[in-house]
Structure 1
Amino acid sequence: MTPESSMIHDKMANTTVFPDPQSSWLEFPSNEPSQDPQPPKHKNDNGVRLDCCEEPSNENETEMKGSPSILLRRWLPEILAQIGGMLCLIGIFLLLWHANNRPSEEMYLGVTLNTILAFLTSLAKVAFLVPIAEGLAQLKWIWFLSPVGRAPKYRPLVDFQVFDDAMRGGIGGVRLLFGFKGILASFGALIMLSGLFTSTLTQQAITYDVRKALSRQANDTATVDRATTFSTYDGNALALTPYDTLREQRAIFDGFFTPSTERVMEMRANCSSGDCTWPAYGSLAVCGGVANLSAISNPALHDSLRKTTEKRLQLLLQTSNITAGSAGYGNFYMTINEVFPVIIGLLDEPTGAFNQSVTDLIVSDSFIAYTDEMVSTSSDSDALNDMMSKVKYLELAFWWCTKTYVTEVTQGQSVTREISTLSKISKGVNNTLNVAWDHKFYPCYSTGQCNNTYGVAEVALEKPADAADSVDFTVHLWTALTASMLLASTMLDSLLLDRTRGVVASNGGGSAKAFAFSVLGDFLTTELPSPEKRFADVQTVMSNAARSMTNLVRQGTTRMARPEAVVRGSVYAPRAFVRIRWEWMGMLTTQLTLTTLFLVLTVVATYMSRVQVIKSSSLATLCALDEETRRDIGGIGDGVDHLEKKAKKVSVRLERRGDFKDFPTQSGKSGAVVWLGVPEQRRSQSKVW
């Protein structure tokens, strides 16, 4: 043994580590035994040395034995901090749940949502950093402790500083993480470093979407017209306004001459903001349909249609020849010897092609006769018979109905959709609405006696389905028959077309040309559409005409200024709403969950290691290092850099009482930790001093 080692050995051999059986585990060796319960001061080469000891007590004895209740009590501040963090997290979730999909301008306790979120996030962050910091401080002591029953482990003394730096986060956490001071310590350092991103990521949970919201402006309006009645009856006569018949005729032709590839739009709604909605509402309407009379097995009907069409063709051919000759177009007309005939006429009785509920409400019923082969322009009987053998018939009907609509205006564009249609009389007089089927109308019309004939008679239609309101829908009989007469005059027409669909001759109201394009094709074409397309195009023409007439009924004077004829909707304006992206709360939730796990594992590791709960106690740190080690690494006067260099070279461990066989206590007991230092054997063997 060297003289230096012998001197240290003699010095430690004369030292009593524990002055009595209940001395603290943080007692360190002194030059002489002391029975004084107060910490004595001793002179040595470096000045005054502090020995840590305390009077015997039952509480110290219980703590030395590692009672679970004492252990949990020492961890109570960290447990309460973790509970506080969880409460903050619950508060954040409740706040965000309450704010989700609400207007962004709403204030909470006089401050904005982001401010409250930032405040609660900061509290939660502080709450989970407290257990992490104190847990790392406790793991610092366990790191220097040799496992029970295993070979002693020595750690560089500078690790003490690494753990202390990690408790403060930042670079210290990175050093601890990459220096790897145990799985649990690295786990805690990782959680602490993740706290750098908590506030930023949590704020991402709140976004603002601009949506349509109910306008708060008192002068905003949203209205759309509908018809609850069709009547111009003032109690004595029909109160027609100027150009009513012209408006009706225009509405009919607007529908007829809308291309079959397009759709007549429902009437435009009035919306002051450009964004409005309406609940489903019902309205009186006109419906239109087509039936294939050629496919109906009704010989009497076919015979009647043939006779009517043949007379109309003869008249058309004769008048065309006379007109062409007298007008000086004889030579031109004579060069056209084959044509396509198109005849539209009225049906004087129901055909049975439509069901009875529709038939009861028909306001106009016509047929269209045409050929899909060119026929001779000759008016002799043989040519006429050949022509009639090629004629096909369709039925064109308009009737009253009720419809359910949904209207919406988006960015100034009005869109109305039909969602249901009902054609059924709920109550009314036993009288048709079609002037061609009512033999009483023309006599009273020509003599001015229709008030006596019809008076206030009305027909009530069933309310449409799916409508949000409940109103009555009626049609005044006299007004409806008058409108039917105007419609009938429009639906009486005939013409001849050449091979490129140019008009050779016409005689009537002018509607035949619209249907001719549907059944024969567009102008300058020479190919006929297929039967399926032909039927569909005619149906489109009828639907467009019906929709156009419905618009007239809904916005015209026939509404008789009923209050329920105006449907009021909701006005919307752009408004910012809070939208919560819950996935961005995963960071804080994970941090608090992992912190709970880290705290539990640290408590368990402390209990299993039989280490007192010291954590970041500065007093324990002052007493932890034995005097010999302090003397060897030098003093603060040598500079911090010098201390760190020496600490990297010095390896120490946290000793237990039973580990130092050369330094027994006065009672001979062992169990708790004694000091940070190197035993004599280690000092003499390693010669690191």
Structure 2
Amino acid sequence: MVSRPILPATQSSWLDCSSRETYRPSAPSEPENKNGAKLGLCEVSEDDTTSKPDSETQKSRSALLRGWLPEILAQLGGLLCLIAIFLLLWHADNRPPEALYLGVTLNTVLAFLTSLAKVAFLVPIAEGLAQLKWIWFSSPLGRSTKPRPLVDFQVFDDAMRGGIGGMRLLFGFKGMLASFGALIMLSGLFTSTLTQQAITYQVEKALSLQANDTATVDRATTFSTYDGNVLALTPYDTLREQRAIFDGIFTPSTERVPEVRANCSSGDCTWPAYGSLAVCSGVANLSAINNPGLHSSLRNATEKRLRLLLQTSNITAGSAGYGNFYMAINEVFPVIIGLLDRPTGAFNQSVTELMVSDSFIAYTEEMVSTSSDSDALDDMMAKVKYLELAFWWCTKSYVTEVTQGQSVTTEVSVLSRAKEGMNNTLNVAWDHSFYPCYSAGRCNETYGGTEMVLEKPAETAEQVDFTVHLWTSLTASMLIASTMLDSLLLDRTRGVVASNGGGSAKAFAFSLLGDFLTTELPPPEKRLADVQTVMSNAARSMTNLVRQGTTRMFRSEAVVQGRVYTSQAFVKIRWEWMGMLTTQLVLTALFLALTAAATYMSRVQVIKSSSLATLCALDEDTRRDLGGLGDGVECLEKMAKKMLVRVERSAGLEDIGQSDASGPIARLGTSPQERSQSRTW
């Protein structure tokens, strides 16, 4: 046979099932290889190549494109599924989960679209591996290659189905491209599982839209019980006020009186910053003030109270029958609380204008004699120290939050300033008009509806006026004064020896001198801090009464509305988990393009997984050497492992559709020369 040039790039037809004759070349184009037989390479003349018009090249490329059209469409379908998945997840991200038609969930739709996308990339992979099977057995253009074991046909076919077949192809290494495709196919085992991880459900607080959900917290915008004629007090209003004072001052200094509890129907609510009337407190060290007149006034008031306390205690002890007990105590700690009849100057002017109660507390840090003679009193008074205890009106801004049923209110700011100056005072001890009108029942004529307006805190944007009715405030000031007025004597272990007053001195004595049954004084800084805590607790307790009690006239703004939140599940998309499917589709497109390029470069027809092509590819002699199925598939596979074959190209045919029965055709098998050699199976 005359040697002719290799088929040009436009010749892609090499397998012709229309012929019934077997081509037998007279001589091999290359030396025989005793490791495996081959068929002679059929070549075409150069004249045939040069005579082909350019239209034939375009026709060949068009045929190649048509051959891969189903796989290209599958890739486009996979891309559309991926786009649909991203749009679906983007729409659902950070939103409550929605049940679609017939209860279909987001996970169900994602699983369905993922399955479609998975099929979309598995189809090109399977068909590409099938096409690589034929390329694996064919010779590169212009040179021959060694024959391949016939069992590789089975390996490629198994790999098309994935699973173990893909593993065999991957580890058996039938070329870089085939291993690449097998790796992509095996990754499909994890596609659905990993993609489902993209959807998570997080429970978060969301604004409730239920009409019956409520969030309210009380506050006071006015302090008044005036009805236009008299103070409209409800039964036991005065007891509630005094109880509020005692609840505050007898709260241990290590604890804090809680703020007003908010009402929240769901257990999770928030309120914006809001303002309210409040009672503020302060403590000043009067002993450290350089004011001789003040010190003289304090000494006179304390000495009178102390002399009276010692005298009444002796009389009471004797008449009560336990005089021996009292007489056995020679030294005591005196604690006396009295009213200040004028401002001391320890607080600024804006605070002084709003004071509702101003008292002093006198005490000693060492024990003094219980004798009431002048020398003993002089020695006692030389050891007395003074503190000022003040309550005044103020406005505070709060932020309230209820979390899992626990209400927490935080003070944001405090402001103690009246909008306009007043000629009147809110402190009963400084107002000389209150007792005359109080005893005569003519306070409506004296005070009427006079109010003091306080400035609102800067943190609140609400337009609300905060007012204190003068008459109501003076009445409350009288109740505070009567509760604070007190004096007592304590023994060495802080037990009460004698008392005379409202009973509040005991709470301050514990802060100044230590708890019951103690004998050591607390450090000076702790004593001052504990007294401030007692005053703060008393002020907060009175504030709670003002915000919740009947001492505030009802107004619509007295109840602050908040936001109610309920626990709701929200869809959270973790986009990184979509990288698996996206990468698979991209790599599949790359694999398909490389496989099509390899097909074109190898001048192999686009046959892919056609079983008919496989049926007519194996020549009769090779089938006869291979044997039948009589000994089973396992025996057939063993024979296929030993038999080496390769594909030969057809010659003289421009297209498979132009082949005739007499023309040469390509066969998959061994050449007659190799078959004639002695072979051991």
1:62 aligned residue (33, 57, 60): 57
Displacement of 1:147 in angstroms is: 4.7
Displacement of 1:549 in angstroms is: 0.7
Displacement of 1:666 in angstroms is: 9.1
1:39 aligns with 2:33: no
Pair 1:533–1:590, CA change in 2 (3 A): farther
Asked if structure 1 preserves the Cα contact closer than 8 Å seen for 2:22 and 2:619, the reply is: no
1:139 counterpart residue number: 132
Pair 1:526–1:646, CA change in 2 (3 A): same
Name whichever of 333-342 and 279-288 sits farther off.
Answer: 279-288
Name whichever of 304-313 and 618-627 sits farther off.
Answer: 618-627
Asked if structure 2 preserves the Cα contact closer than 8 Å seen for 1:18 and 1:27, the reply is: no
1:268 aligns with 2:261: yes
Displacement of 1:253 in angstroms is: 0.5
Q: Look up the SS of the partner of 2:335 in the other structure.
A: strand
Displacement of 1:14 in angstroms is: 11
Structure with the greater relative contact order (CA < 8 A, sep ≥ 6): 1 or 2? 2
Q: Look up the SS of the partner of 2:229 in the other structure.
A: coil
1:550 aligns with 2:538: no
1:599 counterpart residue number: 592
Pair 1:529–1:21, CA change in 2 (3 A): closer
- The amino acid of 1:62's aligned partner reads T
Displacement of 1:511 in angstroms is: 0.7
2:347 aligned residue (346, 351, 354): 354
Which residues in structure 2 correspond to 1:280-291 (within 5 Å)?
A: 280-291=273-284
1:502 counterpart residue number: 495
1:89 counterpart residue number: 82
- The amino acid of 2:343's aligned partner reads P
Stretches of structure 2 lacking an aligned partner (at least 5 in a row): 24-41, 43-47, 655-664
Asked if structure 2 preserves the Cα contact closer than 8 Å seen for 1:463 and 1:472, the reply is: yes
The whole-number CA distance in structure 2 between the counterparts of 1:294 and 1:626 is: 122
Pair 1:540–1:564, CA change in 2 (3 A): same
Which residues in structure 2 correspond to 1:300-319 (within 5 Å)?
A: 300-319=293-312
Name whichever of 464-473 and 252-261 sits farther off.
Answer: 464-473
Residues 563-593 of structure 1 show CA distances to partners (whole Å, capped at 9, x for unaligned) of 1111223334444333334444343234334
Displacement of 1:20 in angstroms is: 13
Residues 121-173 of structure 1 show CA distances to partners (whole Å, capped at 9, x for unaligned) of 11221122122222222322332344567772332111112112211212221
Pair 1:544–1:311, CA change in 2 (3 A): same
Residues 492-524 of structure 1 show CA distances to partners (whole Å, capped at 9, x for unaligned) of 111111111100111111111111111111111
1:585 aligns with 2:573: no
1:241 counterpart residue number: 234
Q: How many percent identity over aligned positions?
A: 80
Q: Look up the SS of the partner of 2:489 in the other structure.
A: strand
- The amino acid of 2:331's aligned partner reads E
The whole-number CA distance in structure 1 between the counterparts of 2:302 and 2:293 is: 14
- The amino acid of 2:164's aligned partner reads I
Asked if structure 1 preserves the Cα contact closer than 8 Å seen for 2:6 and 2:141, the reply is: no
Pair 1:265–1:107, CA change in 2 (3 A): farther
Q: Look up the SS of the partner of 2:533 in the other structure.
A: helix
Residues 11-34 of structure 1 show CA distances to partners (whole Å, capped at 9, x for unaligned) of xx6999999998753246xxxxxx
The whole-number CA distance in structure 2 between the counterparts of 1:666 and 1:228 is: 103
Pair 1:180–1:63, CA change in 2 (3 A): farther
TM-score by length of 2: 0.86
The whole-number CA distance in structure 2 between the counterparts of 1:483 and 1:21 is: 109
The whole-number CA distance in structure 2 between the counterparts of 1:602 and 1:558 is: 89
1:456 aligned residue (441, 446, 449): 449
- The amino acid of 1:345's aligned partner reads G
Which residues in structure 2 correspond to 1:193-592 (within 5 Å)?
A: 193-427=186-420, 429-467=422-460, 469-592=462-585
Pair 1:106–1:460, CA change in 2 (3 A): farther
- The amino acid of 2:342's aligned partner reads E
Displacement of 1:110 in angstroms is: 6.2
- The amino acid of 2:535's aligned partner reads M
- The amino acid of 2:379's aligned partner reads D
Q: Look up the SS of the partner of 2:246 in the other structure.
A: helix
The whole-number CA distance in structure 2 between the counterparts of 1:189 and 1:490 is: 91
Displacement of 1:228 in angstroms is: 1.1
Residues 186-218 of structure 1 show CA distances to partners (whole Å, capped at 9, x for unaligned) of 232222122222223322333334444444543
Pair 1:99–1:665, CA change in 2 (3 A): closer
Task: Name the Cα RMSD after superposition.
Answer: 3.6
1:26 counterpart residue number: 14
Displacement of 1:306 in angstroms is: 2.4
Pair 1:345–1:149, CA change in 2 (3 A): farther
TM-score by length of 1: 0.85
Q: Look up the SS of the partner of 1:227 in the other structure.
A: coil
Displacement of 1:236 in angstroms is: 1.4
1:32 counterpart residue number: none
Name whichever of 401-410 and 118-127 sits farther off.
Answer: 401-410
Q: Look up the SS of the partner of 1:130 in the other structure.
A: helix
Asked if structure 2 preserves the Cα contact closer than 8 Å seen for 1:26 and 1:623, the reply is: no
Q: Look up the SS of the partner of 2:551 in the other structure.
A: helix
Stretches of structure 1 lacking an aligned partner (at least 5 in a row): 1-12, 29-37, 45-51, 658-663, 668-672
Residues 321-353 of structure 1 show CA distances to partners (whole Å, capped at 9, x for unaligned) of 222122222221111111111111122222232
Pair 1:462–1:95, CA change in 2 (3 A): farther
